[in-house]
């Protein structure tokens, strides 16, 4: 049985792209389960009794904490380091990086030769 490598890679890309949307569904399910678990507690009863106030406040708090986490991630460089590590494992990107380095080296050699020619003239 022959496996189409391009089709497998395309399917993997589709799955990777869908992770974000699945994360949203997972978040909604966790919030639903959490609210179901606390509905008989004093906090849960307060939230249910004041649902029109509690829901917007919780959404604002969620957005605030999500932005705070994103800010910390940006400041610490966790995501950029992760992407750098992933790209170092990608053979196409490594080949591009190698080509760029060769171009820079050749550019430096050409500049040195130009400088030597200018000095001679």
Q: How confident is the model at residue 47 (pLDDT cuts 50, 70, 90)?
A: confident
Instruction: Supply the pLDDT for residue 6.
Output: 86
| pLDDT confidence of residue 90 | 77
Instruction: Determine the pLDDT at residue 64.
Output: 94
The pLDDT, as a whole number, for residue 102 is 92
Position 17 confidence tier, pLDDT thresholds 50, 70, 90:
confident
Side-chain-side CA neighbours of 88 within 13 Å: the count stands at 6
Number of neighbouring beta carbons within 10 Å of residue 21: 9
Please write the tens of the pLDDT for every residue from 48-83.
888 899 889 988 998 999 899 888 888 888 878 877
Please compute, for residue 76, the number of CA atoms within 13 A of its CA located in the half-sphere on the CB side.
9
Q: What is the pTM of this model?
A: 0.51
CA distance 37 to 31: 10
25 to 18, 63, 69, 80, 82: CA distances (angstroms): 11, 16, 20, 26, 24
pLDDT tens-digit series, residues 92-117: 888 888 899 999 989 989 988 888 88
pLDDT score for 7 = 85
| Percent residues over pLDDT 90 in the chain | 18
Residues 20-34 pLDDT 10s:
889 889 988 998 898
């Amino acid at each position: 049985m022959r496996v189409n490598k391009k089709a497998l890679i395309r399917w993997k890309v589709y799955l990777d792209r869908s992770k974000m949307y699945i994360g949203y569904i997972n978040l909604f399910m966790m919030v639903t389960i959490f609210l179901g678990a606390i509905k008989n507690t004093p906090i849960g009863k307060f939230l249910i009794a004041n649902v029109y106030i509690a829901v917007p406040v919780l959404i604002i708090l969620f957005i605030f904490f999500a932005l705070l986490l994103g800010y910390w991630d940006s400041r610490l460089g966790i995501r950029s380091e992760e992407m750098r590590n992933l790209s170092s494992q990608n053979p196409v990107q490594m080949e591009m990086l190698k080509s760029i380095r060769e171009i820079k080296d050749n550019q430096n050699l050409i500049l040195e030769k130009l400088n030597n020619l200018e000095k001679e003239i």
